[in-house]
Each structure stands twice: as C-alpha cells, then as structure tokens.
C-alpha cells in the first residue's frame, strides 16, 4: 500500500526558553517556525487545512498550536483514512518524558534527524470531540475515526517545550479496535506484520528510510512467550468435530490499495456474520485465531502452504481468504476457499461492485456462493 511521502528538514536552536511571540506559518506546503527554528516541507499529495487557536485549554497549563494536513483526496462529509499534524506545546514548568514507560506503547525507539534525536512511539487511541485537533476537523466538516493508530515523533528543543509530528490512521485499517487492550506482548503475527507496514508508512511520511532508523528502535518484535498459556496454544488441540459441523475460518481481507483500506474490516466482518447464519458451519472466533497466530508467529495471507499449515494445526476443514481493491469506480473482491484435507482450492471468485453502496449485497452473494461450494464438497 503506497503512501505519499513527506520531506522534513528539522533545525533546532537551543536558547533557554521559547519566545512568546514566535512567528509560525504555512506557505504552500511548508511549515515554518522561528522559535524553535523548524521547517517542515509536506509532500504535494497533502493539503494544509489550517491551525488550531493558540490557547490554553481549560484546567490545563499547557499551550497548544496544531497545524493540520490532510490527503488531497479528502472530502468534507467523508471519514478520514489518515491525517497528520505538527504540534508545538509549551508550559511554564518543565516537561517530564513519561512516554518510554507507557504500557500502551506498541513500540518505542529513536530516530536521527539532522544529527538530532527524536523519540517515537505507536499507540492505539480513542479520539474525542474535546481534543483540539478533532474539534477543528469536525468544525471543517470532516469525520474523524473513533479509534486511531498513531505514530508520534517528538523532541524537546527546550525543557518546557515539546515538538511533535503526529501521523494517524484509522485503526480499522489494521483490523484493530479500541475495545481491545493491545500491547507488544499481545500482538498476533498478522498484527505485527500490519504494524510493521504502518511503521514504514509513518516513517516514509517524513522522508525517513530504514538506514536512518536507530538500531535500538523496536518495531513490534516478537514478544517473549508466556509459557503456561502460550505453550498450550502452540500445541493447540484441533477444534471439536464431534457435532459433524463444518469447521472453517475467515482470514482478514487484504486491501490492495489505499482507496479501500477502510472497507477491509467491514467486508471481513460481514462475511463472517453471513456465514454464521448457516447452522452447519462452525466459524472459528477471530480472537482465538489471532491469539493462535500471535503465539505461533504466523500470519493471515493467501500463501497455500501457510493456509494448509494453519488449517491442519487448528483442525479446520476450510479457510477463506481474499483481497479487496479499487479499480476505477469499481470495488473488486477476490476470494478463495481452501479445502484443507484435499489441499486444494475449493472455490475461487472475483466480484466487482459499483461503489460502497452495493458492497453489502455483494458480500452476501459471496457468502451464498461460498456456502454452496463448501456444502457440495462436504456431502
């Protein structure tokens, strides 16, 4: 999934405190600050939306300035897939950096920009209309995701000032939810893979390649096993087959391009719910699947060997996998059903739908076709 780039040039001066009358503005796609001395050139595929007021929030001692940028394709009334902002935050007293110890961090590390270190972290966060950035976006007619995954780069030019470059995406793009308590230790194999892709997009957004990433930085590496619970999952017994139901699992549909990433969780969930309506099917719970994949460091993809390995170890009869992509005005669903015991494709389909409005009905048609194909093979 290709995301547009930013180029960032960061130059800091280090006097004792930030100037109260510092000039900051955005000309074209370039953010400029005199104090701290900072210049950020945002890529041409983004547009500058505006800044929040320079004010103190009620009951807070911090002063915020947020400069927001959106993808050019963003339209009022539509849900934002991603957005970013540059924040200058200051207070009378000095900051204490508590970010490294935060248990919600999905990773934490350092990068080097212009021979200066920036820390970064990733977290899943709920948004709120009380946030200045969210309030600003909503006032301009944009719909902000309720749950986001964020990558924050931050540095302290002065002890009482923090500069942050915050890149956000809808958490649904990674099949993640704010209803779940995520940490590095609980991420599944597929979630670590998705987080790694997000990491690359976030870093590419400020023009940073792998060569400039501090080797001490961690990018959702495989966590140490929790012996008692994880060992049992590594040797998980096959699902119960005594009730003669057909055991199957549905992998998350992979978005091929950025235009449809928001539809992937929707299609996956709708397909699972539709298949559950058939009483002869026993659908593996997604949480159980994710936990099994996490412990065994496996991923959800359409590789036949991988699918057969997962299917056999879980005692499944069939596994459904697929992808979704935008082709002009069409949304294209590609789906395959693998017969685990026969080690072959039981059903393959490509469905084209005109826009999101017809997506739900076509997912139902796909469910019916899958049901027919599996039922015919199971007679």
- Name the residue with tokens 């600050």: 33
Say if CB 151 and CB 118 are below 8 A apart.
no
* pLDDT at 319 (0 to 100): 96
Q: Are residues 164 and 291 in the same domain?
A: no
Residues 255 and 134 in one domain: no
Residue 43 included in any domain: yes
94 is a domain residue: yes
In a shared domain, residues 130 and 160: yes
Specify the long-range contacts of residues 181-186, CB closer than 8 Å, at least 24 apart.
182/104, 182/106, 182/124, 183/103, 183/104, 183/105, 183/106, 184/105, 184/106, 184/107, 184/218, 184/220, 184/221, 184/223, 185/223, 185/224, 185/226, 186/223, 186/294
Which of residues 186, 212, 238 is at a domain's end? Answer: 212
* Phi, psi (rounded to 5 degrees) for 138: -65, -35
Give the pLDDT confidence score for residue 234 in this predicted structure. Answer: 54
* Phi, psi (deg, nearest 5) at residue 202: -65, -45
In angstroms, rounded to a whole number, what is the distance separating the alpha carbons of residues 32 and 34? Answer: 7
Class of residue 332 by CB neighbours under 10 A (exposed 0-12, middle 13-18, buried 19+): middle
Residue 152 in contact with residue 120, Cβ under 8 Å? yes
Do 328 and 185 lie in a common domain?
A: no
Same domain, 13 and 146: yes
Residue 223 lies in a domain: no
Structure tokens that stand for 132 in this block: 């200045």
Pick out the chain residues at pLDDT < 70.
1-22, 54-61, 114-116, 207-243, 379
Question: Do residue 139 and residue 12 come from a single domain?
Answer: yes
Question: CB-based contacts of 16: which residues, under 8 Å, 6+ apart?
Answer: 158
Residues 149 and 206 in one domain: yes
Give the E-state strand segments of 77-145 in sequence order. Answer: 82-90, 107-113, 116-126
Contact 353, 325 (CB under 8 A): no
- Whether 222 is in a domain gets the answer no
How far is CA 182 from its chain centroid?
A: 12
Domain shared by 92 and 183, yes or no:
yes
Specify whether 181 is located in the same domain as 245.
no
Q: Are residues 186 and 252 in the same domain?
A: no
When divided into structural domains, the chain yields a total of: 2
- Do 262 and 135 reside in the same domain of the chain? no
The last residue of one of the domains, among 171, 188, 212, is 212
Cα Rg of the chain, angstroms:
23
Give dist(CA 5, CA 42) in Å, integer: 8
User: 323: number of CA atoms within 13 Å, CB side?
Assistant: 12
Taking the mean position of all CA atoms in its chain, how far away is CA 318? 28
Residue 124 lies in a domain: yes
With b for 16 or more beta-carbon neighbours within 10 A and e for fewer, the 267-276 pattern comes to bbbbbbebbe
147 with 249, same domain? no
Which of 212, 239, 260 is a domain's end point? Answer: 212
Residue 13 in any domain: the answer is yes
DSSP, collapsed to helix, strand or coil, labels residue 366 as helix
Helices (H), the chain: 132-139, 189-204, 227-234, 264-276, 286-296, 304-314, 359-377
* Residue 249 maps to a domain: yes
Asked if the structure places residue 340 within a domain, the reply is yes
What residues make up the domain containing 44?
A: 7-212
């Amino acid at each position: 999934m290709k995301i547009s780039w930013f180029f960032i040039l960061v130059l800091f001066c280090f006097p004792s405190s930030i100037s109260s009358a510092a000039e900051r503005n955005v000309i074209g796609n370039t953010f400029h600050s005199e104090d701290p001395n900072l210049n950020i050139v945002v890529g041409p595929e983004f547009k500058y939306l505006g800044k929040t007021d320079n004010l103190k929030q009620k009951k807070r001692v911090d002063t915020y300035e947020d400069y927001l940028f959106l993808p050019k394709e963003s339209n009022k009334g539509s849900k934002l897939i991603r957005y970013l902002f540059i924040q200058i935050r200051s207070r009378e007293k000095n900051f204490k950096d508590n970010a490294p110890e935060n248990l919600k961090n999905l990773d934490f590390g350092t990068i080097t920009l212009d021979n200066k270190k920036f820390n970064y972290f990733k977290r899943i966060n709920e948004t709120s209309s009380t946030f200045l950035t969210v309030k600003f976006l909503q006032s301009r007619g944009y719909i902000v995701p309720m749950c986001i995954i964020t990558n924050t780069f931050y540095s302290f030019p002065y002890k009482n000032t923090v500069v942050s470059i915050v890149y956000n995406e809808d958490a649904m793009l990674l099949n993640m939810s704010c209803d779940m308590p995520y940490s590095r230790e609980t991420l599944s194999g597929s979630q670590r893979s998705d987080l790694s892709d997000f990491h690359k997009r976030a870093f590419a957004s400020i023009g940073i390649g792998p060569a400039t990433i501090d080797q001490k930085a961690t990018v959702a590496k495989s966590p140490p096993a929790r012996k008692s619970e994880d060992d049992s999952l590594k040797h998980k017994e096959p699902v119960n087959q005594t009730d003669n139901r057909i055991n199957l699992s549905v992998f998350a549909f992979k978005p091929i391009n950025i235009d449809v990433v928001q539809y992937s969780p929707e299609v996956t969930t709708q397909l699972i719910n539709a298949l559950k309506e058939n009483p002869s099917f026993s659908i593996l719970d997604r949480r159980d699947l994710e936990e099994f994949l996490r412990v065994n460091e496996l991923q959800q993809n359409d590789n036949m060997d991988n699918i057969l390995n997962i299917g056999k170890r879980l005692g499944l009869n069939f596994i459904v996998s697929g992808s979704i992509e935008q082709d002009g005005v069409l949304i294209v669903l590609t789906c395959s059903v693998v017969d685990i015991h026969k080690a072959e494709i039981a059903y393959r389909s490509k469905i084209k739908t005109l826009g999101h409005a017809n997506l739900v009905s076509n997912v139902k048609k796909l469910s019916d076709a899958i049901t027919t194909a599996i039922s015919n093979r199971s007679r």
